[in-house]
Amino acid sequence: MSDFAANLLGWFRHSGRHDLPWQRPRTPYRVWISEVMLQQTQVVTVIPFFERFMARFPDIHALAATPLDEVLHYWTGLGYYSRARNLHAAACLIRDRHRGHLPASIAELRELPGIGRSTAAAILALAYDQRAAILDGNVKRVLSRYFAIQDWPGGAVEKRLWRLAEELLPEQEIAAYTQAIMDLGALVCTRRRPQCGICPVAGDCQALQAGIQADLPAPRPRRPLPLRHTRMLLLQDASGRILLEQRPPTGVWGGLWSLPECDPGAELNAWIAERFALVSRGYEFGRSFHHGFSHFRLEIEPVHAVVQPAPDRIRDAVNLYWYRPNGDNRRIGLPGPVRDLIENRFPYSEDHE
């Protein structure tokens, strides 16, 4: 066993995390759900979502048997909703192709939607104690500093990091080692203000020796994100219900129920009459706010109106739904900003990420 692995495992026994919800019990299903939730999301944020998700979907069969709308409902607020869509699709495949058992091979895991190389390896290591290297954000940071790799950890550099991650793997205690290296990045080798004084591998850390640990890993080259503009319409009927429209199954907020959106330059009376066969006597405009996505920023102008059906016109569609905010029994997925607009009517802050 390398000094890196031995020192890390020794530290993990007394300082690592041993009581996370997905560790009690540590089943393949619970590990899988947690690893998907933890993609680009911190542990402290994931824990309450994970516990609610497990209470409603305790196993693969329960997840596969539930309509996607309800799965998205339990994901609302966690973001990156393609993860939930992929989980549901993968659960159906596991039920149909693998008799409800999560595969225990890297090839079969990677055939499932939403499971890439690192997630598959984490499942194998944590759930099955198989020898597989992971390379999530925490591990990239640890290795970039330990080996003083000064380039952004993507592209060709990422390939080098994969090789290093595999070389450092011990022959035994794979599950403990995998959790340990994730914990090291999350608790000690943090993005800002790394605690090098208590790091179990600080003695051989090349970045620490060079005094550049705070500068690594190098940030991804940034490009300005384009800004898009939209209006979100809170169209409310006389009984207080709000009209929702289901988004296409792919793309931003795919499959979620959202407020109708129109171009800021559209004439509202004509637009909602043509689109939904509704009429309104007036509108209340809220303060615009921004919501950030990975590849663009969206400026949202909320507009509220009480509406009623247009005379002699009926508009009905399967992708429209009148939602009752304070008593709706149907469990549906809502994007975070949409949920907040419905609950609060208008935003209270300029930025809402």
DSSP 228-241: EEEEEEEEE-TTS-
Using CA atoms, how far residue 129 sits from 13, 69, 139, 318, in Å, is 17, 34, 18, 46
Cα–Cα distance measured from residue 323 to residue 318, given in angstroms and rounded to the nearest whole number: 14
Block residue for tokens 């099955």: 128
Cis geometry, peptide bond prior to residue 25 (ω within 30 degrees of 0): yes
Answer yes or no: are the C-beta atoms of 29 and 99 closer than 8 Å.
Answer: no
SS3 category, 301: strand
Q: Which residue type does 67 have? A: P
SS3 category, 193: coil
Cα–Cα distance measured from residue 11 to residue 186, given in angstroms and rounded to the nearest whole number: 14
In the chain, what is the greatest distance between 2 CA atoms, to the nearest angstrom?
A: 79
Cα–Cα distance measured from residue 163 to residue 159, given in angstroms and rounded to the nearest whole number: 6
Locate all alpha helices (DSSP H) within the chain, ordered by sequence: 3-15, 28-37, 43-56, 60-64, 68-75, 82-97, 106-110, 117-128, 137-146, 156-168, 174-183, 206-210, 268-276, 336-344
Q: Which residue type does 74 have? A: Y
Annotated catalytic residue 299 = no
Using CA atoms, how far residue 218 sits from 88, 145, 149, 193, 209, in Å, is 35, 10, 8, 15, 17
Candidate list 35, 173, 299, 350, residue with the active-site label: 35
- Could you give the residue numbers annotated as active site? 35
